[in-house]
Amino acid sequence: MTPSQETRRKVAKLDKELRDLLNAVAESGKPMTDDQSNRSAEIRLEIEKLEALAENQEFTEKRDTQQAKAESDAGKVATMASGQPADQGEAREKRKMLHEFRLSRALKAQYNNRQYDGVERELHKEAIKESRQFGGSIEGFGIPAWAIYGEKRDQTAGNAASAGNTIATEMRDFIPALRPTPMVQTMGAVDMDGLQGNIDIPKANDTAQAQWEGENEEAQETNPTFEKLPGRPHRLSAVINVSRQLMLQSVIPPSVEAYMRDDLRIAQELALDAAAINGSGTGNVPEGLLTNSDVNQVELGTNGAVLDRTSLIKLIKEPAVKNAVMANMGFLSNPDVMAKLMATKTDAGSGIFVLPDATSNLLGYRAGFSTQVPNNLTKGTGTELSAVIFGNFRQLMMMRWGGIDLLVDPYTRGTEALVRIILNSYHDILNRQPKAFAVIKDAITTL
């Protein structure tokens, strides 16, 4: 029995208990006793929580099943010379390459104008192949999409808070900097990798309408309309400044190499996450949920207003009245909102809080919190206002073309003994159904 099936079994048991209780009250012809009323409320609340849990579990199980099927299908189609499934052999090869790959070796080779060797050469070739598939090119050292991503970070030998502490001493561990948690993909946004060229996704605006007509009356025509959502590669760039001393002297163990690659990957995930939430939609920046004019807007007050349970119910209502599918819905906001809801009672005398704890569901839906969601918005005379997003995050498509291009520039900051590492990658973000979302941008969260 899967976790979701076990949860559904518990829901069914509670549902039977509630029906039996209500039937007993109805048969007695008397009002509910206090004990019966309290138990009824407890059962309803527990069912609500379990239904939300089951929904989350089913979503995860479905994704796991789809991934397993995709891997299985790939293994059946392509086989290695040894007869082993290609996906298994490829996975092992990738793990081996990542274990042997050294970012410092690749950077030094490019800096010294040498040919890449070993695993770095293989990764570079794979990145070139990915880039050519969508009409791009690699100017520096290419890293395929599955291996690493990039961020803007200065690393100098003389600065302990940067990278100076990696020189001349073997390091067994590495303490990462604190940073926000990217939440959009955790909430269900769909990854689209391996794209080639521009992509247009058809979308239906209106639907066919059935109408009642007389026996011999002419049926009325309806004309559904369609549009295309364009997906286009937008360049996401970052710069790392590395000291020449660091490149020549640094002895970085595999664990720190892995950290550096992970650090670069997370940095781009954060940039994409921020764009999906609040991207301007102008120039080369994708449009985010908070700036999309087609997303449902819930306004609390002229100068903002205190966030409460009613405000959240309004958010839930908006996608529902627009006929959005209410499965896989969730809330996304920031820690200020999290704290406010944990301190807000559902009503004056209940003793029940809107958000029982930081890991709870919110009104029966998933809830995620990240400092990526702004808390510094303004409206009228209101300042330091927070945003709250509710919707089906599976309607967001996170699109990626190829991997990353690292270009070493030893000249621009040469007088400072710094080498610039320029990172480029290509992405887009599409919202398939803006009406499946609703946002608040004027929530007062003062405790």
pLDDT digits (tens, 9 = 90+) for 390-407: 999 999 999 988 888 888
Arithmetic mean of pLDDT, 4-23: 87
DSSP summary character for residue 353: B
Give buried/exposed letters for 318-333 (b at 16+ CB in 10 A, else e). Answer: bbeeeebeeebbbbbb
Q: What is the pLDDT of residues 201-248, one digit of tens each?
A: 776 666 556 667 777 777 676 666 667 788 888 888 877 777 777 666
With a CB cutoff of 8 Å and minimum separation 6, the contacts of 26 are none
- Say if CB 387 and CB 440 are below 8 A apart: yes
Task: Count Cβ atoms within 10 A of the Cβ of residue 422 and give its class: 0-12 exposed, 13-18 middle, 19 or more buried.
Answer: middle
Tell me how many degrees the CA angle 348-350-355 measures, rounded to the nearest 5. 95
pLDDT bucket at 433, cuts 50 / 70 / 90: very high
Q: Which of 1-10, 13-22, 190-199, 353-362 has the lowest mean pLDDT?
A: 190-199
Residue 67: per-residue pLDDT? 57
pLDDT bucket at 68, cuts 50 / 70 / 90: low
Arithmetic mean of pLDDT, 367-378: 96
Cα(420)–Cα(111) distance, integer angstroms: 10
pLDDT above 70: residue 290: yes
DSSP summary character for residue 410: S
Tell me the CA distances in angstroms from 195 to 66, 121, 423, one per residue in order: 19, 23, 19
Query: Bridge-partner residues for 190, per DSSP?
Result: 397
Amino acid 188 reads G
Mean pLDDT of all residues in the chain? 80
Cα(57)–Cα(3) distance, integer angstroms: 7
pLDDT above 60: residue 159: no
- Among 101-105, 151-155, 304-308, top mean pLDDT goes to 304-308
pLDDT above 50: residue 315: yes
Residue 33: per-residue pLDDT? 87
Q: Which of 61-75, 294-308, 322-336 has the lowest mean pLDDT?
A: 61-75
Which tokens go with 243? 């000291």
Q: What is the pTM of this model?
A: 0.67
